[in-house]
Amino acid sequence: MVDQLSFSYEVGNLMYASHGEPITNCLQCGICSGTCPAVEFMDHTPRQIIGMIRADLKDEVMASNTYWTCASCYYCTVRCPAEIDIADMMYALKRYSMWKGQFQAGLIGPDFSEAFVKMIVNSGRSFEPLLAATYLPKFSAGDIIQEGLMATGLVLSGKMPLLPKKIKGLKKFQQMVRRIIPIGEPS
């Protein structure tokens, strides 16, 4: 009988196909945390998150905003002395979090991710006005007015379409994507 996989093993598997060494090689030196431009907004630093994964603190990691706050700048990845792809680990945690439906309440990231994937599966293209609907309710009235003015300018200048468009060969694209993404059933 196969034992249940540990959280650290599952995250390691998600990162298997990416570049870099496994997180078990982390020296806990903290260079990633010292490098990260977004660290002040994170519940746990990148170094701490790696330590928590290695300790199999799954619920604590899933409740953290750290990987949703990551800006994917890759500074940590290029500076890590152990050659760990920390930025890709943040992506792996996002995928895992969406897969398990376990994340911190009130974050924009999970709603935005789900809306984005469903939109791509349904049309093969990104359509910003539809995406905006997922995060505008979390903005202040002033921000919404500012976003609305910017969107109007983009539509009037022809840089953003008024209606969504679909790609050619959408059915084949959907078949391909649905092999790897368990959400986003085409409507």
Q: Is 75 in the site for ligand SF4 (CB under 6 A)?
A: yes
53 binds ligand SF4 (CB under 6 A): no
- Contact region with ligand SF4 (CB under 6 A), list: 3-11, 42-50, 115-123, 138-146: 42-50
Is the Cβ–Cβ distance between 46 and 61 less than 8 Å?
no
49 binds ligand SF4 (CB under 6 A): no
For residue 8, count other CB atoms closer than 10 A to its CB.
Answer: 20
The kind and range of the H/E element at 87 are helix 86-100
Q: How far is the CB of 118 from ligand SF4 (least distance, A)?
A: 25
DSSP string, 29-68: --HHHHH-TTGGG-SS-HHHHHHHHHTT-HHHHHT-SHHH
Nearer to ligand SF4 among residue 26 and residue 121 (C-beta): 26
Q: Given the rule CB under 6 A, which residues bind ligand SF4? A: 26-32, 35-38, 46-47, 50, 70-76, 80-82, 84, 86-87, 90
